[in-house]
Amino acid sequence: MKLSTFITDTTNPQQRGQQIGQRWATSIQRTCALYLDFFNQVDIDPRRVQPLAEASLSALQGWAPDLAAELEATAIGAGVPLWQLAALNARTEILATMPAAKGECSTAVFAPAGSEAPRTVQTWDWHDALVLEGLLLQLNSANGMQVKLFTEFGMLGKIGVNSAGVGLHFNILHHASDNASGGVPVHAIARCVLEEARSVGEAIALARSARVSASTVLTVFSRTDTAPRAVCIELSPAATAVVLPGGDGWLTHTNHFLDPALSQGERSADLADTHARLAHVNHARASMAVDDLRERATAMCGAAGEQAPICFHPDLTQAPTERWETLLTVGIDTVTSELLYHAGTPMALASQGYQRF
């Protein structure tokens, strides 16, 4: 995956959207086309895509009108129909209407009480054919914070950190209550948390205020030693649950619900995979509580190295809908408010190093 960087200093959502759309028009057009084709490949009725995308956009307009305005301006700037960009941003909501797919992404956050900042690492695993390139975006929020995030072209948000020292990792979930009502896009919720939350408590309140139709977990943490300092916010249409760290300060998550009540509606397509990855990460925790991200990434893989269950390598003999790749490994530095990243597996980061954004 090729990564590009864009920095914008406007706080006006329409101007920002226009800037992003015009600068990255070709990439946004390509990403929209890839996803629309992907929906066809996984047998989602094309007649359902536009209405669901428009319903999610309407939900976003009611919940976060500035983000909706940015999306509308981006579509104009990029020269794509608004419903297609809305479908891209609601890709999780659209995919939630089909039988659950294989999970992806493994997250680990060490956030003990005290003055030490959280130490984090996440793998972002997705279909290699869908994401040929990604965007590192820096922006200024209306309330005076700087936000740095990684996302797909044309998508409002995903993994990031703000200048208040609040960071966010992102994993998909699947629940029996997922539906086709077109809720607020979960990627927009992540973006809103990064733009507005100055504490973990504020992030929880923001996430709870959104009506969702698809499930996701936002792992949110702060450089400030407050209670709570780190949580996994498990979103589903049925309820929103908050998972707290263990007494050792660790939060780990893959792609199944940890909340006891929500886990009763678990709809993961491959429970063995997501449970195996979580067990692998949990086994590595004792050696992952180190400052250096390269050491943390090495420890996350363990003796299995590139063959660890958290490292996905695409099988090119499989159809694009069945191929998964670890496209990004990222840690978040809440002290400097930076993303530490490498476009590849944790072992590739460990051997080749990482960049800061």
Residue 171: the pLDDT is 97
Question: Is the separation of the CB atoms in 145 and 166 below 8 Å?
Answer: no
Residue 104: the pLDDT is 82
Backbone Cα Rg of the chain: 18
Tokens linked to 244: 């707290």
Q: Flag whether 100 is in a domain.
A: no
Q: Flag whether 101 is in a domain.
A: no
Same domain, 164 and 257: yes
Residue 103: the pLDDT is 67
Same domain, 64 and 114: no
Give the contacts of 19 (CB within 8 A, at least 6 positions apart): 6, 8, 10, 77
Q: Rounded to whole angstroms, how far apart are CA atoms 345 and 349?
A: 6
Q: How many domains does the chain have?
A: 2
Bridge partner residues of 241 (DSSP): 234
Same domain, 90 and 210: no
Same domain, 82 and 122: no
Same domain, 235 and 91: no
Question: Is the separation of the CB atoms in 127 and 321 below 8 Å?
Answer: yes
Q: Rounded to whole angstroms, how far apart are CA atoms 158 and 155?
A: 8
Residue 100: the pLDDT is 67
Q: Flag whether 62 is in a domain.
A: yes
Which residues of the chain fall short of a pLDDT of 70? 100-101, 103
Same domain, 59 and 112: no
* Domain extent at residue 251: 106-132+142-356
Residue 199: the pLDDT is 97
Same domain, 37 and 115: no
- Prediction pTM value: 0.97
Cα distances (angstroms) measured from residue 237 to each of 18, 55, 178, 242? 32, 15, 6, 14
